[in-house]
């Protein structure tokens, strides 16, 4: 069965191989340039005396179009696998009637399904693994400079997880193809299901793989976010200086866990426009004073005073996943998606064996 | 002789609709069996159940003594050519033969090769560009090269031109003569079945109407023509299958075990097509011995 | 080696047609003692008929003493039909042709001539059968 499944898969594999080769060439050609920019940026920062997260490396903006393209390719590849390799796997044979030829050969439906699923799943995972390997290598200067590999936007596009995503999307495609017996509806449902699964895992499951570390930090005036919104002024927590960690949430609270009310803010920061005094603040950025926006000279002292007053009662509570949990999380998420893939594949095999009669 | 297909009260339902009902059959081995009936009668359903593509909703069926598609060994004993001979259009003829060789341990590569050569099939041609007749021959090769004991074909020649049809049946009969395989094929065209089948099953409205050897069938049916008469006046061992009357004349197609001695009737033999049409025309079978309703032609 | 053909509209069952064609070939001298009849496979590959039909025909020929099967080799002609009649074919044909010309001159068309012959032949044959019985 395996040689037969491979023969049926051959032309799709050829297309994927050609695409991978093209990507490899493009990345190999442009990769060294990024490395150079990165190293030059590091050297410049060292000369200036800034280190770590204070060093803004120009590599972040280098080859911006290509950066986006690489991200897009890794993001989209598993969905494409699901739609174009998974959905037609069985649905095509059902639509064209060739299942009447396949299921009357001397091989049981179980062997037939396992052969087809196994060969293409391995191909999908291998292809996704290669793609991810190349993309991770190429974008490592950017990711290292931004120290954001654990962030939700970047985590799913690096290292191991794309392999799990590809396996899952493929199985989802195959299973919906079996269920709907038609390729096009299966493709649509696969895409929707894959997107939903990715979002659900990223925002609902991943934060809870391990209990996040809780750290209480004093408020700092550099990086504090004071926002004047329709409900009055609020203060947004500031991200602690943890490179390559994943800050799940930051909140400003007092010892009892309560956030500062508008009254608290007006009492603590009477001299800040828009908060203590009536009227819009006379500064750049409507209603928002933060480190990202340069503080006009006249507001520096009132701001420090404000933060000192607030800081007596309130603290910055950060929930985060430390940087050294990156690889356990990669494995955890990959295995979760692979397990789901196996379940879906098993369901597809069961359906073909018992329900399609 | 062992039965190649034994069904007891076999039924298959799709939702509320029964495609097959109450089918009891004992098809002996060593025959070429024709399955004939109008569209929607359940022919494809019966064949798909026989090769394991469908499971019965009621009753039971055994093929070569075992449930259809019970395991790989059973699958290798039954060959199937589905309607319109499905093939993988992007694979070549040679690919299909390799496909057959890999998926069937009993595959005979010499037989496959010989047939492909005799039929002038180009091994490198993509199956999608074959003509209808060539596709049917390729599908037949795939079904027969694993040397099955039982070959099932679903309307193999329905969409073929007359020459391709004749060539296909010539091929099929040659295979039967050579390998001694039992065959079950369905068709609308009684004329083709007449040449190749020696056993006939007539399926109408999801029920089996007739299931016996063609010689016996033809020997038992007669056409009676004579002056206008009520069929009830016939002796009890004569069953009227079809009747039509004008004001002066009656024409009956009857089934009888003995000769019709009444001199008022002109007795003729009936061709297979007319016998089959008579059974296809009448409603779901009453029990043998009861008469059909009187139907008067203007 | 002779070749068979099948007239699906003749009303004569296929196996009988084969028997008749063998007998006709024997009569005309196309087949002689020791000649091999076409194999079952060859016949069905050409006519697309059931192999059992051919087997039945060959068994009937064996029954009539005209052919015999040699296992593994084939079926062979063992006796011929009286070819002493061949000599009389010429004059008989001549008589027939004269009769047909006469019928034409009397104003009969083709169908009437054929019907007249068939009717007379049937009567003649039935009478002969009754004599035998």
| B61-91 pLDDT tens trace | 999 999 999 999 999 999 999 999 999 999 9
C130 burial type by CB count under 10 A (0-12 exposed, 13-18 middle, 19+ buried): exposed
A171 burial type by CB count under 10 A (0-12 exposed, 13-18 middle, 19+ buried): buried
Among A135, A194, A196, A140, smallest CA distance to A165 is for A194
pLDDT computed for residue A42 by the predictor = 85
Rounded mean pLDDT for each run of 10 residues along chain A, 357 residues in total? 94 96 95 90 82 73 87 95 96 96 96 96 96 94 88 91 97 97 96 96 90 84 66 72 85 82 77 58 45 60 78 85 92 96 97 91
Q: Match 């094929």 to its residue by tokens.
A: B185
Q: Match 């204070």 to its residue by tokens.
A: A54
Residues 46-105 in A contacting B (C-alpha not used; CB under 8 Å): 96-101, 103-105
Q: Which of A124-128, B19-23, C26-30 has the weakest average pLDDT?
A: C26-30
Cα(A354)–Cα(A356) distance, rounded to whole angstroms?
6
Query: Residue B268's beta-bridge partner residues?
Result: B223
Q: Say if residue B123's pLDDT is above 80.
A: yes
Cα(A306)–Cα(A313) distance, rounded to whole angstroms?
12
Among A282, A313, A275, smallest CA distance to A296 is for A282
Q: How far is CA A56 from CA A37, A50, A242, A285, in A?
A: 12, 9, 16, 22
User: What are the backbone angles phi and psi of residue B113, rounded to the nearest 5°?
Assistant: -65, -45
Q: Percentage of chain B surpassing pLDDT 90?
A: 70
User: The complex's ipTM?
Assistant: 0.90
Strand order in the sheet with B221-227: B238-245, B249-256, B221-227, B266-269
Cα(B182)–Cα(B150) distance, rounded to whole angstroms?
5
Cα(B32)–Cα(B151) distance, rounded to whole angstroms?
9
Subunit contact B82:A100, Cβ cutoff 8 A: yes
Would you tell me the crossing angle of helices A183-200 and A64-81 to the nearest 10 degrees? 120
Mean of the per-residue pLDDT values for chain B? 89
CA distance B171 to chain C (A): 6
Half-sphere exposure of B231 (CA within 13 A, CB side): 26
Label the pairing between strands A232-236 and A225-229: antiparallel
Mutate to test the interface with A, among B56, B102, B154, B184 (most CBs of A within 10 A): B102
pLDDT computed for residue A84 by the predictor = 97
With b for 16 or more beta-carbon neighbours within 10 A and e for fewer, the B205-218 pattern comes to bbbbbbbebbeebb
Subunit contact A97:B86, Cβ cutoff 8 A: yes
B32 membership: H or E segment, kind and range: strand B32-36
Greater model confidence, C123 or B55 = B55
- Closest C-chain CA to B167: C48
CA angle A240, A245, A249 (to 5 degrees): 55
pLDDT computed for residue A59 by the predictor = 80
Instruction: Give alpha helix (H) positions in chain A.
Output: 2-48, 64-81, 87-96, 99-102, 109-146, 152-155, 161-180, 183-200, 262-268, 297-313, 326-354
B12 membership: H or E segment, kind and range: strand B3-14
Label the pairing between strands B78-81 and B150-153: parallel
pLDDT computed for residue A247 by the predictor = 87
Residues 98-157 in B contacting A (C-alpha not used; CB under 8 Å): 98-100, 102-106, 139, 142-143, 146
Report the neighbours of A using a cutoff of 3 or more CB pairs below 8 angstroms.
B
Q: Are A212 and A320 in contact (CB under 8 A)?
A: yes
Greater model confidence, B286 or B145 = B145
pLDDT computed for residue A276 by the predictor = 57
Q: Are A164 and A58 in contact (CB under 8 A)?
A: no
C119 membership: H or E segment, kind and range: helix C110-132
Subunit contact B196:C11, Cβ cutoff 8 A: no
pLDDT digits (tens, 9 = 90+) for B253-283: 999 888 777 888 888 889 899 999 898 887 5
Cα(B41)–Cα(B210) distance, rounded to whole angstroms?
13
Residue A261 touches partner B, C-beta closer than 8 Å: no
Q: Are C7 and C17 in contact (CB under 8 A)?
A: yes
Among B118, B164, B165, smallest CA distance to B141 is for B118
| B222: DSSP letter | E
* Longest CA span, chain C: 59
pLDDT computed for residue B291 by the predictor = 40
Structure tokens at B168: 């296909």
Q: Are B54 and B7 in contact (CB under 8 A)?
A: no
pLDDT computed for residue C57 by the predictor = 94
Query: Residue B251's beta-bridge partner residues?
Result: B225, B244
pLDDT computed for residue A335 by the predictor = 96
Q: What's the pTM?
A: 0.84
Label the pairing between strands B199-204 and A246-254: unpaired
- Closest B-chain CA to C40: B177
Query: Residue B101's beta-bridge partner residues?
Result: none
Q: Say if residue B236's pLDDT is above 70.
A: yes
Label the pairing between strands B3-14 and B17-28: antiparallel
Cα(B94)–Cα(A325) distance, rounded to whole angstroms?
54
Q: How far is CA B3 from CA B47, B63, B179, B203, B271, in A?
A: 16, 8, 18, 19, 27
Strand order in the sheet with B150-153: B78-81, B150-153, B182-187, B32-36, B199-204, B207-213
pLDDT computed for residue A52 by the predictor = 61
Per-residue pLDDT band for B297 (boundaries 50, 70, 90) equals very low
Greater model confidence, B115 or A274 = B115
Which of B177, B198, B269 faces C40 most closely, judged by CB atoms?
Answer: B177
Sign for the CA dihedral angle at B151, B154, B155, B156 comes to negative
Cα(A339)–Cα(A328) distance, rounded to whole angstroms?
16
Q: Which of A69-78, A182-191, B199-208, C82-91 has the weakest average pLDDT?
A: C82-91
């Amino acid at each position: 069965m395996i040689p037969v499944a491979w023969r049926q898969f051959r032309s799709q594999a050829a297309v994927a191989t050609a695409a991978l080769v093209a990507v490899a060439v493009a990345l190999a050609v442009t990769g060294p340039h990024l490395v150079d920019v990165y190293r030059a940026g590091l050297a410049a920062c060292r000369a200036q005396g800034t280190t770590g997260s204070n060093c803004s490396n120009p590599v972040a903006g280098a080859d911006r179009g290509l950066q986006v393209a690489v991200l897009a390719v890794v993001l989209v590849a598993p969905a494409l696998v699901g739609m174009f390799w998974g959905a037609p796997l069985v649905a095509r044979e059902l639509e064209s009637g060739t299942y009447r030829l396949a299921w009357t050969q001397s091989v049981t439906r179980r062997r037939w399904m396992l052969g087809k699923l196994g060969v293409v799943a391995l191909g999908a995972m291998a292809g996704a693994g290669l793609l991810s390997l190349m993309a991770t290598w190429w974008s490592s200067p950017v990711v290292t400079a931004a120290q954001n590999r654990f962030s939700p936007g970047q985590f799913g596009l690096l290292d191991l997880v794309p392999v799990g995503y590809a396996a899952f999307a493929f199985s989802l495609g195959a299973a919906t193809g079996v269920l709907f017996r038609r390729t096009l509806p299966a493709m649509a449902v696969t895409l929707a299901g894959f997107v939903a699964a990715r979002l659900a895992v990223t925002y609902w499951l991943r934060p809870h793989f391990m209990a996040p570390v809780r750290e209480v930090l004093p408020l700092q005036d550099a990086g504090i976010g004071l926002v004047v919104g329709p409900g009055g002024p609020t203060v947004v927590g500031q991200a602690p200086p943890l490179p390559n960690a994943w800050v799940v949430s930051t909140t400003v609270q007092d010892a009892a866990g309560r956030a500062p009310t508008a009254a608290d803010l007006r009492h603590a920061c009477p001299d800040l426009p828009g908060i203590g005094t009536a009227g819009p603040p006379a500064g750049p950025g409507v209603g928002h004073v933060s480190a990202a926006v340069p503080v006009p000279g006249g507001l520096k002292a009132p701001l420090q005073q404000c933060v000192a007053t607030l800081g007596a009662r309130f603290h910055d509570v950060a929930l985060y996943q430390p940087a050294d949990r990156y690889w356990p999380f990669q494995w955890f998420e990959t295995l979760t998606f692979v397990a789901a893939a196996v379940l879906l594949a098993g369901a597809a095999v069961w359906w073909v064996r018992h329900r399609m009669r | 002789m062992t039965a190649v297909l034994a069904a007891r009260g076999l039924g298959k339902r799709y939702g509320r609709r029964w495609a097959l009902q109450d089918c009891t059959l004992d098809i002996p081995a060593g025959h070429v069996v024709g399955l004939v009936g109008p569209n929607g009668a359940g022919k494809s359903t019966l064949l798909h159940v026989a090769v394991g593509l469908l499971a019965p909703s009621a009753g039971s069926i055994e093929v070569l003594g075992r449930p259809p598609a019970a395991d790989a060994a059973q699958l290798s004993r039954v060959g199937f050519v589905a309607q319109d001979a499905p093939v993988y259009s992007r694979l070549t003829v040679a690919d299909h033969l390799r496909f057959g060789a890999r998926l069937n341990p009993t595959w005979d590569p010499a037989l496959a090769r010989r047939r492909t050569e005799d039929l002038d099939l180009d091994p490198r041609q993509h199956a999608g560009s074959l003509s209808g007749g060539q596709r049917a021959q390729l599908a037949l090769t795939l079904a027969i090269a694993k040397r099955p004991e039982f070959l099932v074909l679903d309307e193999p020649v329905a969409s073929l031109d007359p020459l391709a049809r004749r060539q296909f049946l010539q091929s099929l009969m040659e295979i039967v003569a050579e390998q001694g395989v039992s065959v079950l094929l369905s068709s609308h065209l009684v004329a083709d079945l007449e040449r190749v089948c020696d056993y006939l099953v007539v399926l109408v409205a999801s029920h089996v109407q007739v299931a016996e050897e063609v010689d016996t069938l033809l020997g038992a049916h007669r056409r009676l023509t004579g002056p206008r008469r009520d069929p009830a006046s016939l002796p009890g061992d004569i069953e009227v299958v079809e009747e039509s009357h004008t004001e002066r004349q009656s024409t009956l197609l009857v089934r009888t075990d003995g000769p019709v001695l009444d001199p008022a009737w002109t007795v003729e033999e009936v061709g297979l097509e007319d016998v089959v049409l008579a059974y296809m025309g009448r409603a779901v079978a009453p029990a043998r011995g009861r008469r059909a309703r009187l139907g008067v032609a203007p | 080696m002779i070749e068979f053909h099948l007239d699906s509209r003749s009303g004569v069952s296929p196996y009988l047609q084969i028997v008749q064609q063998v007998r006709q070939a024997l009569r005309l001298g196309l087949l002689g003692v020791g000649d091999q009849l076409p194999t079952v496979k060859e016949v069905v590959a050409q006519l697309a008929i059931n192999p059992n039909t051919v087997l039945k025909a060959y068994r009937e020929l064996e029954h009539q003493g005209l052919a015999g099967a040699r296992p593994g080799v084939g079926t062979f002609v063992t006796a011929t039909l009286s070819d002493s009649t061949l000599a009389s074919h010429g004059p008989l044909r001549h008589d027939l042709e004269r009769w047909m010309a006469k019928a034409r001159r009397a104003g009969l068309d083709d169908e009437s001539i054929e019907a007249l012959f068939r009717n007379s032949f049937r009567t003649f044959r039935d009478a002969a059968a009754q004599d035998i019985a």
